[in-house]
Amino acid sequence: MDYPSKVLAKAVDEISGLPGIGRKTALRLALHLLKQPPSRATSLGNSLINLVNEIKYCKDCHNFSDFEICEICSNDKRNDETICIVEDVRDVIAIENTGKYTGKYLILGGKISPMEGVGPHQLNIPSIERKLNEGTVKELIFALSATMEGDTTAYYIYKKFKSFKVNFSSIARGISVGDELEYADEISLGRSIMNRLPYNDGNV
């Protein structure tokens, strides 16, 4: 495709390098920015540059942060005894949005996936060992994808650290709130029967 201007062509090239954005969408976005006041694109451009140059990784849990230690790890009110192991920062945001978890996190940075060439050595597994060696942790919660890769990762970590005196748990899998049984897949339904809970006021 031939663009009438080199700066436009360059912007379309750069935008269409983002995942899920093709050249037509990239052109639409570039033309949208050209219709806005120039401060809009300048502000977007600078925010992207600042993002990669100013962001830090929490030394404790590997979450993104503006400081050396993130706000969750440095919060005294949060429970040091449970560590929730997640794949990436989106999972932390999702769990924080539930408001149901008051412990800390550890972000693996992915999951073991031979298909994508990700082995245990690329993940932040040594940080789990460091935390366990500190001696305050009593429970490790696996909050990983319900996929083969997620299960493999949990099993690898469990095997590696089962000699430590901590409890291992995994987030419950079952029927989502609002699901109709007839449309649930059989594996989820099977697990939710096996992992049935005593029925009382607290569980409803």
Which residue ranges make up the site for a copy of itself (CB under 8 A)?
1-8, 10-11, 13-15, 17-20, 25, 27-34, 38, 40-56, 58, 63-66, 70-72, 88-90, 92-93, 96-97
Q: Which is nearer to a copy of itself, 30 or 140 (CB)?
A: 30
Minimum CB distance to a copy of itself, residue 149 (Å): 17
Q: Which two tokens stand for residue 25?
A: 């969408």
CA distance 104 to 167: 15
Q: Which is nearer to a copy of itself, 43 or 195 (CB)?
A: 43
CA distance 176 to 112: 26
Minimum CB distance to a copy of itself, residue 200 (Å): 32
CA distance 148 to 156: 12
Minimum CB distance to a copy of itself, residue 34 (Å): 6
Q: Which two tokens stand for residue 116?
A: 């994508």
- What distance lies between CA 20 and its chain's CA centroid? 19
| Residue 50 CA neighbour count, 13 Å, CB half | 7
Minimum CB distance to a copy of itself, residue 84 (Å): 14
Minimum CB distance to a copy of itself, residue 73 (Å): 10
Q: Which is nearer to a copy of itself, 69 or 184 (CB)?
A: 69
Minimum CB distance to a copy of itself, residue 124 (Å): 14
Question: Which residue's entry shows tokens 């979450």?
Answer: 63
Q: Which is nearer to a copy of itself, 13 or 129 (CB)?
A: 13
**53 phi, psi to nearest 5 deg:** -90, -25
Q: Which is nearer to a copy of itself, 28 or 173 (CB)?
A: 28
Angle, CA of 23, 24 and 29, to the nearest 5°? 95
Q: CA quadruple 109, 112, 115, 121: dihedral positive or negative?
A: positive
Q: How far apart are the first and last CA of the chain?
A: 58
Q: Which is nearer to a copy of itself, 110 or 120 (CB)?
A: 110
